[in-house]
Amino acid sequence: MDNQPAYLANAKPNPAANRAPWYQNTAPAYAGIILWFVFWQDIVNTGTFGGGLAHGIWLPIVSVVVAALLCHFLFYLVPGLLGMKTGLPLYVIGSGVFGARGGIIMPGLLMGLLQFGWVAVNIYFSSLLLSQTLTMVPLWVIMVAWGALATFMGLKGIQYVAKVSTYLPLIPLVILLVLLAKTVGHVKEFSPEVFESGIANAVVGVSGGVKALSSFGIFAFIVTYVVGFFATAGAAGADFGTNARHADDVQKGGLFGVTLMMIFTGVVAVLIISGIYGANLMLSGAPMQVTDSGVLSAILGGSVAKLVMFLLALAAFPAACFSSLIAANSFKTMLPKVNANISVAIGGAVAIVLAVTGVAGKSAAVFGFIGASFGPICGALLVDYFLNGKTWGGARAGFNPAGWAAWALGFTVGVLPNFGVALPLAPVAAFAVGAGVYYAFARLGLQSKQISRRDAETRS
């Protein structure tokens, strides 16, 4: 371990005494992420005529289930097992794929940089909800204030946020259940025929939509949306895994916190929108976003809808703070000589600009970019895990060619939709390309020298 970067030299496994059952750490932590309204509000909002309901209710439900299973088994499970077996976080484990020097950038700094993307998304959508209550305040002012406060609290006051963050996810959970109770009785009255004329004749500009997607198009949209949203959280399973006692904790933490919670939130969102159309509360082609003011007002009435939007924004605030904290820790660990306060302040300013300009509001595109970034990382980690006998083989010297080739080619494929190329299931394709390229390079011997850290493994 001579002459290795500080983040490797100083890495210490989380001891077994500090670990706890899955229902005390991994599951509730992931559940809090997936209950964030930004995830479930647009689950069927394809931007096309009829949205994800154009061909009925069962198609989006099946799509959500498939996406949830992919998230667990492809993106979360192996990082979680690696974290559990070694007690080491993602940025250390990633050095086995990208090299000791390469790991500083990938996944180390990349994870930190992408956190500001999440901060931007949080600022944008939370501010939109707040603006329904704070009607006298310009939207951009709300965005600037929200972003600045979240960045500051992430750096200086996260302990205060942490004290209440455990309970705030109950707000979106209760709201989802209330909305479901109000609409589920009308689900049986919903029929995709409500969109029939639009599906047959829709063109750009009709009812604000474009031609309805095919069945596969809807399936691909929902899977891409869900996997893209989860990609970074899946890789971070390594960090969650350091708190797991054994493999059963890792499995159950993911199955309950990720798979079942995704299915719950996604299916409930589908049923809510279906119930609204079944009750004829919305016109064909109206917004498919669950938190749209028109949707909420149709269900709850205007004044209650405004209160609900305010509460959802309030519940989202800790997520923005924690993203800032993760970014700060990333910069402190990977670039110890750089003042983290300055780097995080710059990142927070960029996040605010992305929100104010509306770039962060294109959630599907943002999730697609994030999925393209971390899909190849998860794919390469999975292959490396099996090549090393279901364990971590240790860091590799310098920049490992196999890891960097896997990421470069996987990212290039995964990001194609952001440039107008119609590639279905892009984050999954990025994962597959990353895994395939890494395997090919490994078999050809195109890897840098392995630096053993097997002694760090903490088996249960």
Q: Which one-letter amino acid corresponds to residue 307?
A: L
Q: Give the CATH number of domain 22-456; options: 3.40.50.920, 1.10.238.10, 1.10.3720.10, 1.10.4160.10.
A: 1.10.4160.10
- In this prediction, residue 404 carries a pLDDT of 98
CA distance 410 to 429: 7
- In this prediction, residue 53 carries a pLDDT of 93
CB contact set of 291 (below 8 Å; sequence gap of 6+): 37, 41, 125, 129, 309, 312
CA distance 40 to 370: 17
CA distance 275 to 298: 11
- In this prediction, residue 459 carries a pLDDT of 39
Which has the closest alpha carbon to 231: 408, 40, 376, 362? 376
Query: Residue written as tokens 């989860």?
Result: 230
- In this prediction, residue 331 carries a pLDDT of 86
Percentage helix, strand, coil for the chain under 3-state DSSP, each rounded to 5: 70, 0, 25
- In this prediction, residue 107 carries a pLDDT of 92
Sign of CA dihedral 404, 405, 410, 416: positive
CA distance 362 to 228: 13
Q: Where are the beta strands (DSSP E) in 356-406?
A: 395-396
Could you say which DSSP state residue 396 is in?
E
CA distance 173 to 336: 39
- How large is the C-alpha radius of gyration of the chain? 22
| Preceding omega of 60 cis (within 30 degrees of 0) | no
CA distance 6 to 444: 31
Record the tokens describing residue 98, joined without a space: 């990208």
Point out which residues pair with 451 in neighbouring strands. Answer: 395
Pairing label, strands 450-451, 395-396: antiparallel
Residue 225 · residue 60 · CB < 8 Å: no
**Half-sphere CA count of 240, side-chain side, radius 13 A:** 32
- In 3-state terms, what secondary structure has residue 238? helix
Residue 240 · residue 93 · CB < 8 Å: no
Residue spans per domain, the chain: 22-456
Q: pTM of the prediction?
A: 0.92
Residue 324 · residue 147 · CB < 8 Å: no
CA distance 299 to 279: 10
Each residue's pLDDT expressed in tens, for the chain with a length of 460 residues: 446 788 888 889 999 999 999 999 999 999 999 999 999 999 999 988 889 999 999 999 999 999 999 999 999 999 999 999 999 999 999 999 999 999 999 998 999 899 999 999 999 999 999 999 899 999 999 999 999 999 998 888 767 777 767 788 899 999 999 999 999 999 999 988 877 654 444 444 444 456 788 999 999 999 999 999 999 999 999 999 999 999 999 999 999 999 999 999 999 999 999 999 999 887 766 778 999 988 999 899 989 999 999 999 999 999 888 888 888 888 888 888 888 888 889 999 999 999 999 999 998 889 999 999 999 999 999 999 999 999 999 999 999 999 999 999 999 999 999 999 989 999 999 999 999 999 999 999 999 998 855 434 443 3
- In this prediction, residue 284 carries a pLDDT of 67
CB contact set of 214 (below 8 Å; sequence gap of 6+): none
CB contact set of 238 (below 8 Å; sequence gap of 6+): 79, 80, 82, 83, 88, 89, 90, 93
Residue 12 · residue 455 · CB < 8 Å: no
**Half-sphere CA count of 175, side-chain side, radius 13 A:** 27
Buried b (16+ CB within 10 A) or exposed e, 316-331: bbbbbbbbbbbbbbbb
Sign of CA dihedral 25, 27, 31, 34: positive
- Burial class of residue 350 (count of CB atoms within 10 Å of its CB; 0-12, 13-18, 19+): middle
Record the tokens describing residue 153, joined without a space: 């609290």
**Half-sphere CA count of 288, side-chain side, radius 13 A:** 25
